[in-house]
Amino acid sequence: MSAEVTLLGVRHHGPGSARAVAAALERLRPDAVLIEGPPEADPIVGLAAGKDMVPPVALLAHAVDDPARAAFWPYAEFSPEWVAIRYGLDAGVPVRFIDLPAAYSLAEEPGEPGQPGEPAEPGEPAGTERHGQPDGRPGDPIGMLAEAAGCDDPERWWEDVIEHRSPGTDALAPFVAVAEAMAALREGGAADGPAARRDDLREAYMRQQVRAAKRAGHRRIAVVCGAFHVPALAVMPTVAHDRAVLAGLPKKVRTDITWVPWTHRRLSQQSGYGAGIVSPGWYHHLFTTAGDPLPLWLTRAAELLRAEDHPVSSAHVIEAVRLARTLAVMRERPLAGLTETLDAVRSVMCDGSDVALALVHDRLVTGDALGEVPDGAPAVPLQRDLTRLQRSLRLKPAVEPRELDLDLRKENDAARSRLLHRLRLLGIDWGVPSRSAVNSTGTFRESWRLRWQPEFAVRIVEAAQWGTTVEGAAAGRAVGAARAAVELTELTALVEACLLAGLADALPAVMRVLADCAALDTDVAQLAGALPALVRALRYGDVRGTDHGALGEVAAGLADRICVGLPPACTGLDAAGAAAMRGRLDEVHGAIGLLEPVGGLADRWAAALRALARREPAGGPATGVPGLLRGRAVRLLLDDGRLDSEEAGRRLGLVLSAASAPADAAGWVEGFLTGGGALLLHDPRLLGLLDEWLTAVPAEVFTDVLPLLRRTFSALEAGVRNTVGSRVAAGPLGAEPVPEAGTGPELDPVRADAAVPVVALLLGLPGGPVHPGGPARIPRQADGRNT
């Protein structure tokens, strides 16, 4: 008795195709199910039968010697392949994958288009093949079929004829029709090119696997594959022909494969997935909802909008259902599709707002469903350790972004912080530092924004080369990065990361490299850029209980070298160099303020700032320090109390004199006012000097200094700008007169005494009312003044 092979051509991730496959398998009752996918997954396909496997999930294959060379095969609950897998496992019949093995696919050079299980860079998902545009074949088969049917929208046409239909009395009829259509599209002859040759390899290998199933004694074989491959599998060439085709396969590479969680968002076309679909969340709703899916989906949309404070009621839902169905009739569609549904949501629930509609599209049309895989799935030891830590620290991965505030004084929160910092060292940015809604300037609080991404599975495999635990891998990665670092700032940032991550084993090795690099580096700009990270690390060490004696010595040494070399390093800088150095100047000033005052470091830094402020350009800009840096040095000295306002005003007057170049003076003013201009309000004399200089700038020079001045004043607080503008508009500026004693209005004792009881109560002074209910009396001095 010959074997009966039934080809079920599908579109990947289509709910209509999935329902049709389920109906066809129920009718066929096959004794073997063959599915397009990597054969390396045959030993682990049985994991899909358990309740712990929740789609969307994906098969992840990677090269053992090069984990970055990896590929994904995603499956959702509405994927026809997933339906076939579950049918075979539930029915107890063999389930086999028959596509070209990943060992061949991953042996090819990454980045070639159309490769099955396309190798993906970390963060870039790959799929089984590119649907809608099968590589090397007729451009867009669905688009061509839609055009032949007179429809200008391929997705809408496919929804109408496949995704929205329910299986009829003949469960195989849809597959026969699709096979005939694809055969007609492929009648144009063999295509050429690398992608087409790769399809030929895949189809030859699939035919070999179908022959192997026949030889194994199976009599009713169901093959679930992409509809485009059906014509190539329907007509079997000779075995010799397929062997000759497969002779061109590259040499295999050693591969590992496992199941990993996936998300609906990563199934979408916007993610870059070749077999992506437009609306995975919508398709999931279509597949899982019995009966009319429209009312329930619009009810969910209303719930979402209400949760975001949009006024949506049940009446809106009823009207939206009516409008969507009316639009479907007007557009001659059998049922309301996604287009009609979204049009109804925009008009009825969102009041025409695309902003509110974008929320519905993001949460419901695309969705953020995250799958789950059982503990028994193969995994590298690093993945198992991470899973253990996630459970013990109660940090469940989720694709929905969420804010996490940590109090580092609590043991569990400190452990969470170390985990997130260690993962960042490994390139796994599950958590990203963020600003907290809770106002706090203490170093004991951290705020994170968490969002799990499926591609982290690849990065975990890559990071496994550094160790078998998260702590060990992060330490190994830190030491390796330190040895490869070429700049001092890289090393100081790495030291800070090690302290934050609690990597006591890695810190000595990183510190040795840092000390050697710091001793040889003579670039003051590099030293200035490195010091703030070291000082932050010292502060974090106080909170986390880290021994940072060696770190303090390196920081003090860097600070001393910066004090010595700062004035020469600031000489002759151009505008861009001066702006960059100003930022480093501010950072170093703040860092030195945080260091323990040992050995007169603060005094040496103040001396360096004074030397910087005195270096005026005598023979041109190249002979002195730019005005931007001189003005900034004066302001820092003033804020620290090492320079009084009288001396600051004198220096401002000298700079704004006719002897100074207007551009240099404008730069000085910018540096002086950066960080706050309130001193112009507190000292009207400074504002008067600035006003006199500005009105005396020649017209031919004014246009050159105007951008600097505009930038300077635009950075001031809005209240300061408004007050300065009001004072300038009021007339000539100068010192405000102070009223002489006795020239003010006469004191009215009766009115003053009316407030005495309250004042006495606030100040705790003796004295009571003269009579019940009367005002209290505060003793007066002989001259009539209150005590």
> pLDDT tens for residues 694-738?
777 788 778 877 887 787 777 777 888 888 888 877 766 654 444
- C-alpha 589/C-alpha 642 separation (Å) is 13
CB-based burial label for 93 (10 Å; 0-12, 13-18, 19+): middle
The amino acid sitting at 209 is: Q
pLDDT grade, residue 133 (50/70/90)? very low
pLDDT grade, residue 472 (50/70/90)? very high
CB-based burial label for 9 (10 Å; 0-12, 13-18, 19+): buried
pLDDT at 784: 45
Q: Which two tokens stand for residue 88?
A: 């075979």
Please, what is the Cα angle at 681 between 680 and 682, to 5 degrees? 95
**What angle, rounded to 10 degrees, do the helices at 549-569 and 601-614 form?**
10
* b/e burial code for range 570-591 (CB count within 10 A of at least 16 → b): bbbbeeeebbebbebbbbbbeb
Q: In what order do the strands lie in the sheet with 431-433?
A: 402-407, 445-450, 431-433
Contacts 24+ apart (CB under 8 A), 247-254: 248/197, 248/201, 249/104, 249/201, 250/104, 250/107, 250/108, 251/107, 252/101, 252/103, 252/104, 252/107, 253/63, 253/64, 253/65, 253/66, 253/69, 253/103, 253/106, 253/107, 254/63, 254/64, 254/65, 254/103
Give 579's contacts (C-beta < 8 A, 6+ positions apart).
628
pLDDT one-digit tens code per residue, 352-381: 999 999 999 999 999 888 899 998 889 889
Confidence check: pLDDT of 245 > 70: yes
Q: Which two tokens stand for residue 554?
A: 């390196």
pLDDT one-digit tens code per residue, 413-468: 999 999 999 999 999 999 999 876 655 555 678 899 999 988 898 889 889 889 98
The amino acid sitting at 35 is: I
Contact 410, 379 (CB under 8 A): no
pLDDT at 99: 95
CB-based burial label for 438 (10 Å; 0-12, 13-18, 19+): exposed
pLDDT at 337: 87
Lowest mean pLDDT among 175-184, 381-390, 535-544: 535-544
pLDDT one-digit tens code per residue, 632-654: 888 888 888 888 877 877 887 77
pLDDT one-digit tens code per residue, 37-68: 999 999 999 999 988 899 999 999 988 888 88
- C-alpha 755/C-alpha 767 separation (Å) is 13
pLDDT at 192: 65
Tell me the average pLDDT of the chain: 81
Cis peptide before 122 (omega within 30 of 0): no
Confidence check: pLDDT of 477 > 70: yes
pLDDT grade, residue 764 (50/70/90)? confident
> Which one is predicted more confidently, 291 or 389?
389
Confidence check: pLDDT of 783 > 50: no
Confidence check: pLDDT of 24 > 70: yes
The proportion of the chain whose per-residue pLDDT surpasses 70, expressed as a percent, equals 84
pTM score: 0.69
Contact 129, 275 (CB under 8 A): yes
Q: Which two tokens stand for residue 251?
A: 């040499």
Confidence check: pLDDT of 267 > 90: no
pLDDT one-digit tens code per residue, 277-335: 788 999 999 999 988 899 999 999 999 999 999 999 999 999 999 999 999 999 888 88
The amino acid sitting at 9 is: G
pLDDT one-digit tens code per residue, 566-620: 888 888 888 888 888 888 888 888 888 877 666 688 888 889 898 888 887 755 5
pLDDT at 773: 47
pLDDT at 1: 55
Picking from 75, 69, 127, 68, the residue whose alpha carbon sits closest to that of residue 103 is 69
> What is the DSSP pairing of strand 431-433 with strand 255-261?
unpaired
What's the gap between Cα 671 and its chain centre? Answer: 34
pLDDT at 436: 66
pLDDT grade, residue 547 (50/70/90)? low
Please give the average per-residue pLDDT across 253-258, as a whole number.
92
Q: Which two tokens stand for residue 548?
A: 């940072």
Longest dimension (CA), the chain: 130
Contact 408, 444 (CB under 8 A): yes
